[in-house]
Protein backbone atom coordinates (compact mmCIF):
# COMPACT_ATOMS: atom_id res chain seq x y z
CA UNK A 1 0.00 0.00 0.00
CA UNK A 2 2.83 2.36 -0.88
CA UNK A 3 4.96 1.75 2.21
CA UNK A 4 7.32 -0.75 3.85
CA UNK A 5 6.55 -2.84 6.93
CA UNK A 6 9.10 -3.47 9.69
CA UNK A 7 8.84 -6.26 12.26
CA UNK A 8 10.91 -5.78 15.45
CA UNK A 9 10.56 -8.94 17.57
CA UNK A 10 12.35 -9.24 20.91
CA UNK A 11 11.20 -12.71 22.02
CA UNK A 12 13.86 -15.40 22.12
CA UNK A 13 13.27 -18.64 20.27
CA UNK A 14 10.04 -17.69 18.48
CA UNK A 15 8.96 -19.72 15.48
CA UNK A 16 9.85 -17.99 12.20
CA UNK A 17 6.79 -19.58 10.62
CA UNK A 18 4.51 -17.22 12.52
CA UNK A 19 6.27 -14.26 10.88
CA UNK A 20 5.82 -15.93 7.49
CA UNK A 21 2.12 -16.26 8.29
CA UNK A 22 1.86 -12.57 9.21
CA UNK A 23 3.65 -11.52 6.01
CA UNK A 24 1.42 -13.79 3.93
CA UNK A 25 -1.61 -12.16 5.55
CA UNK A 26 -0.33 -8.67 4.67
CA UNK A 27 0.29 -9.79 1.09
CA UNK A 28 -3.31 -11.03 0.94
CA UNK A 29 -4.59 -7.68 2.22
CA UNK A 30 -2.38 -5.90 -0.32
CA UNK A 31 -3.93 -7.94 -3.12
CA UNK A 32 -7.43 -7.03 -1.93
CA UNK A 33 -7.13 -3.38 -0.86
CA UNK A 34 -4.11 -1.67 -2.41
CA UNK A 35 -5.04 1.37 -4.48
CA UNK A 36 -1.48 1.27 -5.86
CA UNK A 37 -2.25 -1.95 -7.76
CA UNK A 38 -4.56 -1.99 -10.77
CA UNK A 39 -5.29 -5.68 -10.20
CA UNK A 40 -6.35 -5.36 -6.55
CA UNK A 41 -9.98 -6.03 -5.72
CA UNK A 42 -10.56 -2.48 -4.49
CA UNK A 43 -9.14 -1.06 -7.75
CA UNK A 44 -11.38 -3.37 -9.78
CA UNK A 45 -14.37 -2.31 -7.69
CA UNK A 46 -13.48 1.34 -8.22
CA UNK A 47 -13.42 1.03 -12.01
CA UNK A 48 -16.45 -1.24 -12.27
CA UNK A 49 -14.69 -4.53 -13.10
CA UNK A 50 -15.78 -6.20 -9.84
CA UNK A 51 -18.97 -5.99 -7.82
CA UNK A 52 -18.64 -5.65 -4.06
CA UNK A 53 -20.91 -8.67 -3.67
CA UNK A 54 -18.40 -10.77 -5.64
CA UNK A 55 -15.35 -9.53 -3.74
CA UNK A 56 -13.54 -11.12 -0.80
CA UNK A 57 -15.76 -11.00 2.34
CA UNK A 58 -13.13 -8.78 3.98
CA UNK A 59 -14.16 -5.99 1.60
CA UNK A 60 -17.66 -5.84 3.08
CA UNK A 61 -16.21 -6.07 6.61
CA UNK A 62 -13.90 -3.11 6.00
CA UNK A 63 -16.49 -1.00 4.19
CA UNK A 64 -19.06 -1.62 6.93
CA UNK A 65 -16.54 -0.42 9.54
CA UNK A 66 -15.67 2.62 7.39
CA UNK A 67 -19.37 3.46 7.06
CA UNK A 68 -19.72 3.27 10.86
CA UNK A 69 -16.68 5.50 11.35
CA UNK A 70 -18.10 8.03 8.91
CA UNK A 71 -21.24 8.25 11.06
CA UNK A 72 -19.32 8.32 14.36
CA UNK A 73 -17.03 11.13 13.15
CA UNK A 74 -19.94 13.17 11.74
CA UNK A 75 -18.48 12.73 8.25
CA UNK A 76 -14.93 13.84 9.10
CA UNK A 77 -13.69 10.39 8.12
CA UNK A 78 -14.89 9.70 4.60
CA UNK A 79 -13.74 6.67 2.62
CA UNK A 80 -15.55 7.87 -0.49
CA UNK A 81 -14.47 10.67 -2.80
CA UNK A 82 -17.63 11.13 -4.76
CA UNK A 83 -18.39 7.60 -5.97
CA UNK A 84 -14.78 6.39 -5.62
CA UNK A 85 -13.97 4.08 -2.72
CA UNK A 86 -10.73 4.69 -0.83
CA UNK A 87 -10.65 2.90 2.55
CA UNK A 88 -6.86 3.36 2.88
CA UNK A 89 -7.33 5.75 5.82
CA UNK A 90 -8.54 2.78 7.87
CA UNK A 91 -7.37 -0.36 6.16
CA UNK A 92 -3.59 0.01 6.58
CA UNK A 93 -3.84 0.25 10.36
CA UNK A 94 -6.45 -2.52 10.39
CA UNK A 95 -4.12 -4.75 8.37
CA UNK A 96 -1.19 -4.19 10.75
CA UNK A 97 -3.48 -5.03 13.69
CA UNK A 98 -4.33 -8.28 11.91
CA UNK A 99 -0.65 -9.12 11.53
CA UNK A 100 -0.14 -8.37 15.24
CA UNK A 101 -2.93 -10.77 16.18
CA UNK A 102 -1.23 -13.51 14.16
CA UNK A 103 2.05 -12.97 16.06
CA UNK A 104 0.26 -13.01 19.42
CA UNK A 105 -1.63 -16.15 18.40
CA UNK A 106 1.73 -17.75 17.61
CA UNK A 107 3.04 -17.04 21.10
CA UNK A 108 5.07 -13.90 20.37
CA UNK A 109 4.81 -11.51 23.32
CA UNK A 110 7.22 -8.62 22.72
CA UNK A 111 7.21 -6.95 19.32
CA UNK A 112 6.62 -3.79 17.35
CA UNK A 113 5.30 -3.52 13.79
CA UNK A 114 5.84 -0.25 11.93
CA UNK A 115 4.34 0.73 8.58
CA UNK A 116 4.85 4.25 7.26
CA UNK A 117 4.08 6.20 10.42
CA UNK A 118 1.69 3.61 11.86
CA UNK A 119 2.99 1.52 14.76
CA UNK A 120 1.48 -1.27 16.85
CA UNK A 121 3.31 -2.50 19.96
CA UNK A 122 2.84 -5.49 22.21
CA UNK A 123 4.68 -6.11 25.45
CA UNK A 124 8.02 -4.32 25.83
CA UNK A 125 11.68 -4.90 24.97
CA UNK A 126 13.72 -6.89 27.54
CA UNK A 127 14.57 -4.79 30.59
CA UNK A 128 12.04 -2.08 29.79
CA UNK A 129 8.41 -1.40 30.65
CA UNK A 130 7.42 0.20 27.32
CA UNK A 131 8.43 0.68 23.73
CA UNK A 132 9.49 4.22 22.81
CA UNK A 133 8.48 5.43 19.36
CA UNK A 134 9.45 8.69 17.72
CA UNK A 135 7.03 10.99 15.87
CA UNK A 136 8.71 12.51 12.85
CA UNK A 137 8.71 16.30 12.67
CA UNK A 138 6.45 17.01 9.66
CA UNK A 139 8.30 20.27 8.98
CA UNK A 140 11.80 18.76 9.21
CA UNK A 141 12.19 15.20 7.90
CA UNK A 142 15.57 14.85 9.63
CA UNK A 143 14.18 15.62 13.10
CA UNK A 144 11.86 14.04 15.65
CA UNK A 145 8.93 16.01 17.04
CA UNK A 146 8.94 13.94 20.21
CA UNK A 147 8.44 10.44 21.54
CA UNK A 148 5.56 8.38 22.86
CA UNK A 149 5.50 5.36 25.15
CA UNK A 150 3.66 2.32 23.86
CA UNK A 151 2.68 -0.94 25.49
CA UNK A 152 -0.13 -3.03 24.06
CA UNK A 153 -1.19 0.05 22.12
CA UNK A 154 -0.76 1.78 18.78
CA UNK A 155 -0.10 5.12 17.12
CA UNK A 156 -1.11 6.31 13.65
CA UNK A 157 0.08 9.47 11.92
CA UNK A 158 -1.50 11.31 9.00
CA UNK A 159 -0.06 14.14 6.94
CA UNK A 160 0.97 15.17 3.44
CA UNK A 161 4.72 15.32 4.01
CA UNK A 162 5.42 11.63 3.33
CA UNK A 163 3.28 10.71 0.31
CA UNK A 164 1.93 14.03 -0.93
CA UNK A 165 -1.72 15.07 -1.18
CA UNK A 166 -3.37 11.69 -0.65
CA UNK A 167 -5.82 13.04 1.96
CA UNK A 168 -8.67 15.29 0.90
CA UNK A 169 -10.00 17.84 3.36
CA UNK A 170 -13.53 18.92 4.17
CA UNK A 171 -12.75 22.17 6.00
CA UNK A 172 -10.38 25.06 5.48
CA UNK A 173 -8.96 24.49 8.95
CA UNK A 174 -7.44 21.24 7.71
CA UNK A 175 -4.58 23.27 6.27
CA UNK A 176 -3.44 24.33 9.76
CA UNK A 177 -1.99 20.88 10.45
CA UNK A 178 1.30 19.55 9.17
CA UNK A 179 0.76 16.22 10.88
CA UNK A 180 -1.72 14.50 13.19
CA UNK A 181 -1.03 11.45 15.37
CA UNK A 182 -3.57 9.43 17.34
CA UNK A 183 -2.73 6.87 20.03
CA UNK A 184 -5.05 4.16 21.24
CA UNK A 185 -5.75 0.46 21.64
CA UNK A 186 -6.55 -0.29 17.98
CA UNK A 187 -4.39 0.86 15.08
CA UNK A 188 -7.18 0.75 12.49
CA UNK A 189 -9.37 3.12 14.52
CA UNK A 190 -6.38 5.34 15.35
CA UNK A 191 -5.51 5.51 11.66
CA UNK A 192 -9.05 6.56 10.74
CA UNK A 193 -9.20 9.19 13.49
CA UNK A 194 -5.83 10.69 12.52
CA UNK A 195 -7.02 10.88 8.91
CA UNK A 196 -10.30 12.49 10.00
CA UNK A 197 -8.71 15.17 12.17
CA UNK A 198 -6.12 16.00 9.54
CA UNK A 199 -8.72 16.24 6.79
CA UNK A 200 -11.50 18.05 8.64
CA UNK A 201 -9.76 20.05 11.38
CA UNK A 202 -10.80 20.44 14.99
CA UNK A 203 -13.38 23.23 14.90
CA UNK A 204 -16.32 20.81 14.78
CA UNK A 205 -14.61 17.74 16.22
CA UNK A 206 -16.96 17.18 19.16
CA UNK A 207 -17.19 13.64 17.80
CA UNK A 208 -13.75 12.97 19.35
CA UNK A 209 -15.58 12.61 22.67
CA UNK A 210 -16.98 9.35 21.30
CA UNK A 211 -13.46 7.89 21.37
CA UNK A 212 -12.31 8.35 24.99
CA UNK A 213 -9.59 5.69 24.72
CA UNK A 214 -7.71 7.62 22.03
CA UNK A 215 -5.28 10.53 22.46
CA UNK A 216 -4.39 13.24 19.96
CA UNK A 217 -1.02 14.82 19.13
CA UNK A 218 -1.02 17.37 16.30
CA UNK A 219 1.52 19.85 14.99
CA UNK A 220 0.36 23.02 13.26
CA UNK A 221 1.99 24.71 10.33
CA UNK A 222 3.36 27.35 12.71
CA UNK A 223 4.98 24.60 14.85
CA UNK A 224 2.54 24.57 17.78
CA UNK A 225 1.90 21.16 19.32
CA UNK A 226 -1.68 20.39 20.33
CA UNK A 227 -2.25 17.26 22.38
CA UNK A 228 -4.62 15.49 24.70
CA UNK A 229 -3.76 15.95 28.40
CA UNK A 230 -3.37 12.18 28.83
CA UNK A 231 -1.18 11.58 25.76
CA UNK A 232 2.10 9.85 26.80
CA UNK A 233 4.13 12.32 24.75
CA UNK A 234 7.58 13.82 25.44
CA UNK A 235 8.55 16.70 23.18
CA UNK A 236 12.03 16.75 21.71
CA UNK A 237 14.42 19.26 23.23
CA UNK A 238 14.52 21.11 19.91
CA UNK A 239 12.25 20.67 16.88
Classify 85 as helix, strand or coil: strand
The fold of 5-235 is: T-fold (3.10.520)
Residue 161 is predicted with a pLDDT of: 55
Classify 115 as helix, strand or coil: strand
- Find all residues with CB under 8 Å of 173, minimum gap 6, and list them: 200, 201, 202, 203
Residue 160 is predicted with a pLDDT of: 60
CB of 33 within 8 A of CB of 65?
A: no
Q: Where are the domains of the chain?
A: 5-235
CA-to-CA distance for 47 and 38, rounded, in angstroms? 9
CA-to-CA distance for 51 and 46, rounded, in angstroms? 9
**Which mean pLDDT values do the consecutive 10-residue runs of the chain (239 residues) have?**
92 94 97 95 96 97 97 94 84 97 97 94 96 90 91 91 45 67 98 94 91 95 90 82
Give the single-character DSSP code of 239: -
Q: pTM for this structure?
A: 0.91
Is residue 173 exposed (0-12), middle (13-18) or buried (19+ Cβ within 10 Å)? middle
Residue 223 is predicted with a pLDDT of: 84
CB of 46 within 8 A of CB of 85?
A: yes
Amino acid sequence: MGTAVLFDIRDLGFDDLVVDEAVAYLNRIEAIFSTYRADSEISRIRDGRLAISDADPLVCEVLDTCDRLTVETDGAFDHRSGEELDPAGYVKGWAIEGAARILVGGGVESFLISAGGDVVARGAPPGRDVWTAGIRDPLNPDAVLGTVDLRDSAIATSGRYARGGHIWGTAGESEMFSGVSVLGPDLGIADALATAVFAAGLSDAVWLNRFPDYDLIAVTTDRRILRSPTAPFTAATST
